[in-house]
Amino acid sequence: MLDFNVFYRLAAAIGIGLIIGLQREHTYYDQSDRHPAGVRTFTLVGLAGAMAALLSDQMGGVAPFITGFVVVGMLLMAMHVSFAIGHRRQDDSTGGHLPGGDGITTSVAVVIVYLLGGICWYGRLLESCVIVVVILWVLSAKEQLHTFAQRLSKEDIIAIVKFAVITALVLPFLPNNSYGPPGLEVLNPRSIWIFVVFISGIGFVGYGLIKLVGPGKGIWLTGLLGGLASSTALTLNLAGRSRENEAYASDFTLGIVLSWAVMYARLYLICVFLSSSLAGPLALPLLLPVVPALGYALYLKLKEFRNHQQKSADFTNPFKLLPAIKFGVIFTCVMFVANAARVYLGSGALLACSFLGGAAEMDAVAFSVIDMNLKSGLPVRELVLALLFASLANTITKGGLVFFLGAKSMRRPILPAVILICLVTAGLIGYYAFL
């Protein structure tokens, strides 16, 4: 009996080799250009990887797959040696090109396609597709990546090393235990440090985007991506960066406001994912504040477009550990106070607890009230009010971060965003309070 699942996996491996092979074919200079692999070779290598994995699976050992891997490597080595000998015998003007950077890159891609063929056989098709997308981007963005690397300074490299140290060397050695009085065990060194690393990481992502696509686009793209993760951490990072790059204060303000808008949409999707029955009740309270945020962001963009301000090309490196540590401490203190209010005031003070918790992080409040709704039958109206109070506090907190930690030139532009979002949220609170 035919097993169509086998053909499906083999077809996926063939498709991966075909797609990457087509991309490689378009990177060669002309038809006479000599290269280690083309579309046919990539397709066959992908199939070979899947078939070798199939044989290994049938034989109960990894010998066929490893043998195939070694054979592919030897063939590539022999091809490079042949090209090198041919290059010595021919003049550059009449002979083929010796595979240089692109030749080595193509050979590495061949090896990866062989491994992806094996991954396809074992049913990891989604993972394979994600890897293929990344590979295609790396192979296609040669000039952009080389330009990006050339723009990095020695200071940037040192900063990357420092970030790697605080992430890879410090984090694993911190205890993953919670400390504090009974019922208030919120002081977890590893969790606090993860938040510090996260804030620094947002800075690096933004800095990379700025180097890659320029300061204007890079900053607001950072705002969009940061809003998907943590708008509070994004606000802190961009506000701190604005002090050293005040010429880009308007861009930082735009990025921050965009992250606030994205935060509401992300929170709505999280809540709906946790409880699909809340899709209707939460649409108005969580999506309406997006309107003034996006509207004001559009106004800032149009205003900047009209002004055409000349800005310096210099942009300082993002690695600033001390501000991230300070905010990690502040974040922990706020969470401690919020948990204390919950423990000592009880569930009757839900709105007060939500307000205090929202000042630090919206996700924790959302998880808590949805859990209460599912397990304890918390009324939807009270759940909505709790989220609104938390979002009100969160907006005020982020506005305060910009006002006190950001450049002076950001204070006036950020106020309308804070006021608009707070007015909409307060109006929604009044509506649901008297509903």
Q: In the structure encoding, which two tokens stand for residue 233, read together?
A: 């951490």
Q: Per residue in 210-246, is it b (16+ CB within 10 Å) or e — as a string?
A: bbbeebbebbbbbbebbbebbbbbbbbbbbbbbbebe
Distant-in-sequence, close-in-space partners of 364: CB < 8 Å, separation ≥ 6 = 335, 357
Mean pLDDT of 240-262: 83
pLDDT of residue 398 exceeding 50? yes
**Looking at per-residue confidence, does 92 or 417 come out higher?**
417
- Burial bucket for residue 268 (CB in 10 Å: 0-12, 13-18, 19+): buried
Domain ranges of the chain: 4-140, 148-433
Distant-in-sequence, close-in-space partners of 360: CB < 8 Å, separation ≥ 6 = 232, 331, 334, 335, 338, 397
Mean pLDDT of 368-395: 85
Q: For 18-27, 78-87, 332-341, 409-418, which range has the lowest pLDDT when averaged over its residues? A: 332-341
pLDDT of residue 431 exceeding 80? yes
Q: Which of 160-164, 207-211, 397-401 has the highest mean pLDDT?
A: 397-401
Q: Give tens-digit pLDDT for 62-92.
A: 899 999 999 988 888 888 777 667 666 655 5
Q: For 124-138, 302-316, 347-361, which range has the lowest pLDDT when averaged over its residues? A: 302-316
Q: In the structure encoding, which two tokens stand for residue 407, read together?
A: 């450049």
Q: Percentage of the chain surpassing pLDDT 70?
A: 74
Mean pLDDT of 104-118: 89
Q: At what angle do helices 290-307 and 249-274 cross, to 10 degrees?
A: 160
Q: Give tens-digit pLDDT for 301-326.
A: 888 777 655 454 445 555 556 666 66
pLDDT of residue 423 exceeding 90? yes
What mean pLDDT is reported for the chain? 78
Going by pLDDT thresholds of 50, 70 and 90, the confidence category of residue 399 is very high
Going by pLDDT thresholds of 50, 70 and 90, the confidence category of residue 252 is confident
User: What is the Cα 108 distance to its own chain's centre?
Assistant: 26
Q: Give tens-digit pLDDT for 13-53.
A: 999 999 998 888 877 655 555 566 788 889 999 999 999 99
Going by pLDDT thresholds of 50, 70 and 90, the confidence category of residue 388 is very high
Q: 3-state DSSP call for residue 127?
A: helix
pLDDT of residue 98: 46
Q: Which of 270, 247, 222 has its CA nearest to residue 387?
A: 270
Q: In the structure encoding, which two tokens stand for residue 210, read together?
A: 């700025």
As a whole number of angstroms, the distance between CA 54 and CA 48 comes to 10
Q: Percentage of the chain surpassing pLDDT 90?
A: 23
pLDDT of residue 230 exceeding 80? no
Find out whether 178 and 339 touch, Cβ atoms under 8 Å: no
Q: Give tens-digit pLDDT for 181-226.
A: 776 666 778 877 776 776 666 666 666 666 665 555 666 677 777 6
Q: Return the number of other C-beta atoms located less than 10 Å from residue 48's C-beta.
A: 21
Mean pLDDT of 350-354: 80
pLDDT of residue 114 exceeding 90? yes
pLDDT of residue 334 exceeding 80? no
Q: 3-state DSSP call for residue 35?
A: coil
Distant-in-sequence, close-in-space partners of 234: CB < 8 Å, separation ≥ 6 = 202, 222, 223, 226, 227, 255, 256, 259
Phi, psi of 179 (to 5 degrees): -120, 155
